[in-house]
Amino acid sequence: MDYLFTWKSKHWDHKKLLEFVNQFRSKGVASEDWTCAAHKQVRPGDRVYLLRQGAGTKRGIFGRGRVVSVARPREPISPRGGAWAVDLGFREDRGDVLCDPEKQLLVTWDELLRIAPKSTWQIRASGMSLAEGGARQLDEIIDSLGFVMWDHSTDPGEAVVDVAEQIRSRASGQGFLVPPKVRKAIEEHAVGIAKDRYEGEGYKVEVRGKPFDLLCTRDGRQIFVEVKGTQTSGEEVLLTPNEVRLAQENRSEMVLFIVHSVSVDKNADPPRVYGGNIRVFEPWDIDSGELEALGYSFKIAKS
């Protein structure tokens, strides 16, 4: 089962909540008792989502965790309200997330309204059940934010680009963030289209992935193909530092192959990607466009 637990600053001071959030940030684990209306149904292990209530667009989801105790009566009743409570636990190593709702929301109010009617989120009591379909859509959005830590083999540039894609997707107002499974399916769809095209032109094609997607050879000539797939119009693509460096060093052999405006059936498992339009820059002169730095790493000089 899945449940919504609410937070209102007038019932629980933000400074106290922030202590709870900071404990999770510093130790990767935290627990706290919470008012629970559905105390007869809730069980340890149930998934919970923390919902900031209030006025305007500051409402939204700011945490995901688990119930870690059976329900118990409060004696005396807490100033935070409610006669029953359960302990909610948050563990970073199992994918739980907790943030300061004054600074960040995992799922915004607008996104919540796309998932379910306003009445679903304007609940008066804390610890109410949530429909499974709504909970899974919350998970898709939260997981796509990239809170699951990358392993040590992940290229930092790729991690930065991955996060930047999610931020720009959310800021564009085009809808939900793109879940990892969907992003992978879009990438594989685009690479497949590019591979078929060059094989059809007589090239021997080898799928590389890094530092470029396809190595194509024909009649002693080779080209390096960087493939980008997107649901957008394709007017902008994000590149890692390694991709930029390769394009700058191999201008005459580089190709940028963009498959844009693709369609996705997210209800299929795995997601099904189809269609799309193709734009090819061959050879690809990276200086023909405009590069925008997303950030820098500054190394302190040794004294």
Place of tokens 């040794």: 302
Domains of the chain (ranges; CATH) run 2-149 (3.10.590), 180-288 (3.40.1350.10)
Structure tokens at 275: 């269609």
Can you list the alpha helix ranges (DSSP code H) found in 219-281? 241-249
Closest CA to 226 of 236, 213, 215: 213
Closest CA to 67 of 115, 1, 14: 1
Tell me the three state secondary structure of residue 160.
helix
Residues 247-296 pLDDT 10s: 999 999 999 999 999 998 877 778 899 999 999 999 999 999 888 877 67
Task: Determine the Cα–Cα distance for residues 111 and 113; give it in Å rounded to an integer.
Answer: 5
Residues 170-199 pLDDT 10s: 555 444 456 667 888 999 999 999 999 999
Q: According to the model, what pLDDT value does residue 145 have?
A: 72
Higher-confidence residue of 48 and 303: namely 48
Residues 72-131 pLDDT 10s: 997 655 555 568 999 999 998 788 899 999 888 999 999 999 999 998 898 878 989 999
One-letter identity of residue 151? D
Place of tokens 């890094």: 210
pLDDT confidence of 55, banded at 50, 70, 90? confident
Which residues are CB-neighbours of 266 under 8 A, at least 6 positions away?
Answer: 179, 182
Task: Determine the Cα–Cα distance for residues 272 and 78; give it in Å rounded to an integer.
Answer: 49
Burial 244-260 (b: 16+ CB within 10 A, else e): eebbeebeebbbbbbbb
Tell me the three state secondary structure of residue 37.
coil
Q: According to the model, what pLDDT value does residue 151 have?
A: 43
Task: Determine the Cα–Cα distance for residues 102 and 91; give it in Å rounded to an integer.
Answer: 21
pLDDT confidence of 26, banded at 50, 70, 90? confident
What number of other Cβ atoms are within 10 A of residue 302's Cβ?
A: 4
Task: Determine the Cα–Cα distance for residues 295 and 40; give it in Å rounded to an integer.
Answer: 50
Query: What does the angle CA 84 – CA 86 – CA 88 come to, to the nearest 5 degrees?
Result: 150
Given a contact cutoff of 8 angstroms between Cβ atoms, the answer to whether 88 and 65 are in contact is yes
Burial 200-233 (b: 16+ CB within 10 A, else e): eeebebeeeeeebbbbbeeeeeebbbbbbbbbee
Which residues are CB-neighbours of 135 under 8 A, at least 6 positions away?
Answer: 2, 47, 49
Tell me the three state secondary structure of residue 261.
coil
Q: According to the model, what pLDDT value does residue 74 have?
A: 78
Task: Determine the Cα–Cα distance for residues 204 and 201; give it in Å rounded to an integer.
Answer: 9
Tell me the three state secondary structure of residue 282.
coil
pLDDT confidence of 57, banded at 50, 70, 90? low
